[in-house]
Chains A and B, each alone.
Chain A
Amino acid sequence: MNGGRLGAGRTAAQRRAPRAAVWARWVLQWCLVAGVLVGPPAAGPARAAVPGVPLVFTQEPEQGGGAAGSRVVLLQEDGRLRVLTPGFAAAADPCVSFDGTLVLFAGRRHPDDPWDVWIMDVDGSRQRQITRGLGDCREPVFLVRAAIDAPEFRHRVRWIGFTSTAPGVVDEYGRGPLTSLYALNLESLPGRGPVLWRTTFSLGGDLAPVVLRDGRTLYSSWQRQGYALMATTWAGEEVNPVFGSHDDDWSQLDACERAAARELVFIERQGEVGDRSGRLACVSWRRPLHSHRVLSRDGGSYRTPQALEDGTVIVSYAPPGRGFGLYVFDMARGRPGRCIFDDPRWHDVDPQPVCVRPEPTARIPMVAEASVLDVAGYEGAGQLQCLDVYDTDRPELASIPRGAIKTVRLIEGIPLTAAAAAGQACAVSQQGAGAWPPPCVRPQSLGEAPVEADGSFYVNVPGDVPFYVETLDADGRVLGTMRAWAWVRSRDQRGCIGCHEDKELAPVNRATEALIKAAPVSLMGARAAVRGEVR
Chain B
Amino acid sequence: MRSAQPGQRMAADRGSGRVVRVWVALALCLGSRAEAGPREEYFSQRARHAVAADSLYKSPVQLALSRDGRRLFVACENADQVLIVDTRRRVVRDSIAVGRRPLGLALSPDERKLFVTHSWDNDVAEIDLASRQVERRIPVGDDPHLVQGDRDGRFLFVANLGTNTLSVVDLAAGSQVRLLRTGMAPFGVALSPDGSRLYVSHQYSNPVPFRTPPVLELSVVDVARQYVLERRELHNTVIGQGLAVTPDGHFVATAVELPRNLIPETQVYQGWMVTYGISLTETRPGGRTAYLLIDEPNLYFADPYGLAFTPDGRRLLISSAGADHVTIVDMAQVARVLRLEDGRIGVSDEEIARYARHLALSNEYVVARVPTGANPKGLVVSPDGQRAYVACRLADRVDIIDIPAARNAGSIRLGGPEVVTLLRWGAQLFNYASISFQRQMSCATCHPEEGVDGLLYDIAVDGGMGHNLVDNLTMRGIADTAPFKWTGKNPTLERQEGPRAAQLFFRTHGFTPDENRAMVAFIESLRARPNRYRQVGGNLAKAHEWGRRMFERSYDKMGRYIPVANRCVTCHPEPYGTDRRAHDVGTRGYHDRDGKFDSPHLINLYERPPYMHDGRCYSLEEIWTVHNPDDLHGVSNDMAKEDLNALIEYLKTF
Q: Do A and B come from one complex?
A: yes
Spell out A's residues near B (CB within 8 Å): 144, 146-147, 150-153, 156, 213-215, 237-238, 240, 259-260, 262, 285-290, 361-364, 366, 370-373, 375, 383, 385, 387, 458, 493-495, 497, 503-512, 514-518, 520
Contacts A504-B358, A509-B259 supplied; 5 other A-B pairs, CB < 8 Å: A146-B509, A215-B437, A238-B269, A495-B267, A503-B297
CB–CB A506/B275 < 8 A = yes
- Inter-chain contacts of B2 with A (CB < 8 A): 213
Instruction: State the CA gap A353–B213 with chains docked (Å).
Output: 50
A507 pairs with B213, CB closer than 8 A? no
Residues of the B chain whose Cβ atoms lie less than 8 Å from the Cβ of A289:
297, 360
* A362 near B360: Cβ-Cβ < 8 Å: no
Contacts of B270 in A (CB 8 A): 240, 497, 503, 505-507
Nearest chain A CB to B642's CB is how many angstroms away?
Answer: 37
Contacts of A262 in B (CB 8 A): 1, 299
Return chain B residues, CB-CB under 8 Å to A373. 461, 464
Nearest B residue (CB) for A385: B465
Min distance, Cβ A419 to any Cβ of chain B, angstroms:
39
B138 close to chain A: CB less than 8 A: no
Cβ proximity bits B231-244 to A, threshold 8 Å, 1 near / 0 not: 00000100000000
User: Which residues on the A side are within 8 Å of B500 (C-beta)?
Assistant: 151
Shortest CB-to-CB span from A383 to chain B, Å, is: 6
10 contacts between A and B (CB under 8 A): A150-B499, A214-B438, A238-B269, A240-B269, A287-B296, A364-B502, A383-B266, A506-B270, A511-B211, A517-B466
Residue of B nearest to A145 (CB): B509
Are B263 and A495 in contact (CB-based, < 8 A)?
A: yes
Cα A73 to Cα B272 in complex, Å, equals: 44
- Render B333-364 as a binary contact track against A, CB cut-off 8 A, 1 for contact: 00000000000000000000010011111010
Q: How far is the CA of A494 from the CA of B1 in the complex (A)?
A: 28
**Contact status of A509 and B354, CB under 8 A, knowing A361-B437, A495-B266, A518-B465:** no
Nearest CB in chain B: distance from A275 CB, A: 31
Instruction: Give B256 Cβ to nearest chain A Cβ, in Å.
Output: 13
Interchain CB contact under 8 A, A506 and B357: yes
A506 near B508: Cβ-Cβ < 8 Å: no
| Cβ contact within 8 Å between A510 and B267 | no
Report B-chain residues with C-beta under 8 Å of the C-beta of A240.
269-270
Q: Would you give the shortest CB distance from A88 to chain B, in whole angstroms?
A: 35
Other-chain residue from A286, A514, A516 in contact with B360 (beta carbon distance below 8 A): A286
With A240-B269, A495-B266, A506-B260 given, is the CB distance from A285 to B296 under 8 Å? Answer: yes
Given A287-B363, A363-B437, A516-B211, verify A506-B499 contact (CB < 8 Å): no
Contact B296 A286 (CB under 8 A): yes
Structural contact, B272 and A153, CB atoms closer than 8 A = no
* Distance A512 CA – B1 CA, assembled complex (angstroms): 36
- Chain A residues contacting B437 (CB-CB under 8 Å) are 214-215, 361, 363
Contact B258 A509 (CB under 8 A): yes
Contact B464 A506 (CB under 8 A): no
Contacts of B357 in A (CB 8 A): 505-508
Would A152 and B438 count as touching, CB distance under 8 A?
no
Report B-chain residues with C-beta under 8 Å of the C-beta of A516.
Answer: 211, 466, 591
Known contacts A373-B461, A493-B461; is-contact A286 B267 (Cβ 8 Å)? no
- Contact partners of A511 in chain B: CB under 8 A: 211-212, 262-263, 458, 466
Write out the residue numbers on chain A whose beta carbons fall within 8 Å of the beta carbon of B264: 385, 493, 495, 515
Report Cα–Cα, A240/B272, bound state, in Å.
Answer: 13
Determine the chain B residues whose CB is within 8 A of the CB of A144 once the complex forms: 509
Q: In the docked arrangement, what's the CA distance between A366 and B260, Å?
A: 20
Report the Cα distance A375→B258, complex, angstroms. 31
Query: 9 shortest A-B CB distances, which residue pairs?
Result: A506-B271, A518-B466, A515-B466, A362-B509, A504-B360, A511-B211, A493-B266, A364-B503, A505-B357
Q: From residue B146, how far is it (CB to closest CB) to chain A in Å?
A: 27
> Which residue on chain B has the smallest CB distance to residue A488?
B266
Judge whether A285 and B261 touch: CB under 8 Å.
no
Specify which chain B residues have a CB less than 8 angstroms from the CB of A520 in the assembled complex.
464-465
Cross-chain contact B591 with A507 (CB below 8 angstroms): no
| A153 and B466 contacting across the interface, CB-CB below 8 Å | no
A74 and B430 alpha carbons, distance in the complex (Å): 45
Name the contact of A285 in the complex, choosing from B236, B299, B461 (C-beta under 8 A). B299
Number of A-B residue pairs with CB-CB distance less than 8 Å in the complex they form? 162
Chain A nearest Cβ from B499, distance in angstroms: 4
A124–B360 alpha-carbon span in the complex (Å):
45
Residues in B with CB closer than 8 Å to A147 are: 509
Contact A285 B266 (CB under 8 A): no
Which residues in B have their C-beta under 8 angstroms from that of A287? 296-297, 360, 363
Q: Which residues of A contact B259 (CB under 8 A)?
A: 509
B507 at the interface (CB under 8 A from A): yes
Q: B269 — which chain A residues lie within 8 A by C-beta?
A: 238, 240
A388 → chain B closest CB, angstroms: 11
Interface of B is mostly: loop
Give the complex CA separation of A3 and B45 in angstroms: 83
Q: Does B298 contact A (CB under 8 A)?
A: yes
Residue among B260, B360, B509 making CB contact with A507, cutoff 8 Å:
B260
User: A151, B271: Cβ atoms under 8 Å?
Assistant: no
The answer to whether B267 and A518 touch across the interface, beta carbons within 8 angstroms, is no
Interface residues of B in 490-537 (CB under 8 A from A): 498-500, 502-504, 507-510
Are A215's CB and B260's CB within 8 A? no
Do A363 and B1 contact each other (CB < 8 Å), given the known contacts A375-B464, A383-B464? Answer: no
Residue of B nearest to A146 (CB): B509
Min Cβ gap A165→B in Å is 29
How far, in angstroms, from A289 to B358 measured CA to CA in the complex?
Answer: 13
Task: Kindly list chain A residues whose C-beta atoms are within 8 Å of the C-beta of B258.
Answer: 506, 509
Once the chains bind, are A493 and B460 in contact (CB under 8 Å)? yes
Residue in chain B with minimal CB distance to A284: B363
Contact, CB under 8 Å: B359 / A509:
no
B377 lies within 8 A of chain A by Cβ: no
Q: Are A372 and B461 in contact, CB atoms less than 8 angstroms apart?
A: yes
CA A362 – CA B269 in complex, angstroms?
15
Nearest A residue (CB) for B509: A362
Within 8 Å of chain A (Cβ to Cβ): is B467? yes
Instruction: Mark each residue of chain B from 6 to 21: 1 if its CB lies under 8 Å from any CB of chain A, else 0.
Output: 0000000000000000
Give Cα A510 to B212, complex, Å. 6
Say whether A505 contacts B296, CB under 8 Å.
no
Chain B residues within 8 Å of A361, by CB: 437, 508-509
Task: Assess whether A153 is in contact with B359, with CB atoms less than 8 Å apart.
Answer: no
Distance A520 CA – B465 CA, assembled complex (angstroms): 9
Q: How far is the CA of A56 from the CA of B297 in the complex (A)?
A: 34
CA distance A512 to B269 in the complex (A): 19
Contact flags B280-300 to A (C-beta < 8 A → 1, else 0): 000000000000010011110
Q: Please, which residues of chain B bring their CB within 8 A of the CB of A372?
A: 461
The verdict on A515 contacting B502 (CB below 8 Å), with A285-B296, A285-B299, A286-B360 known, is no
CB distance from A199 to the nearest CB of B (A): 16
A151 touching B236, Cβ below 8 Å: no
**Contact present for B499 and A495 (CB under 8 Å):** no
Complex alpha-carbon distance, A458 and B363, angstroms: 34
Q: Which residue on chain B has the smallest CB distance to residue A213? A: B2
- CB closest chain-A residue, reference B435: A361
What are the interface flags for B440-470 relative to A under an 8 Å C-beta threshold, 1 for contact and 0 otherwise? 0000000000000000001011001111000
* Cβ A285 vs Cβ B298 within 8 A: yes
State the Cβ distance, B465 to closest chain A Cβ, in Å.
5
Chain B nearest Cβ from A503, distance in angstroms: 7
Question: When chains A and B are docked, how far (Å) is the Cα of A495 from the Cα of B360?
Answer: 21
Docked CA distance A53–B137 (Å) = 65
- Determine the distance from Cα of A375 to Cα of B593 in the docked complex, in whole angstroms: 13
Chain A residues with Cβ below 8 Å from B461 are: 366, 371-373, 493
CB-based nearest A residue for B504:
A366
Contact present for A507 and B272 (CB under 8 Å): yes
Complex contact A151–B499 (CB within 8 A): yes
In the complex, what residues of A have CB within 8 A of residue B267's CB? 237-238, 494-495
Return the contact of B508 from the options A215, A493, A497 (Cβ within 8 A).
A215
Determine the chain A residues whose CB is within 8 A of the CB of B438 once the complex forms.
Answer: 214
A151 cross-chain contacts in B, Cβ below 8 A: 499-500
Contact of A510 among B263, B271, B504 (CB under 8 A): B263
Whole-angstrom distance between the Cβ of B27 and the nearest chain A Cβ: 30
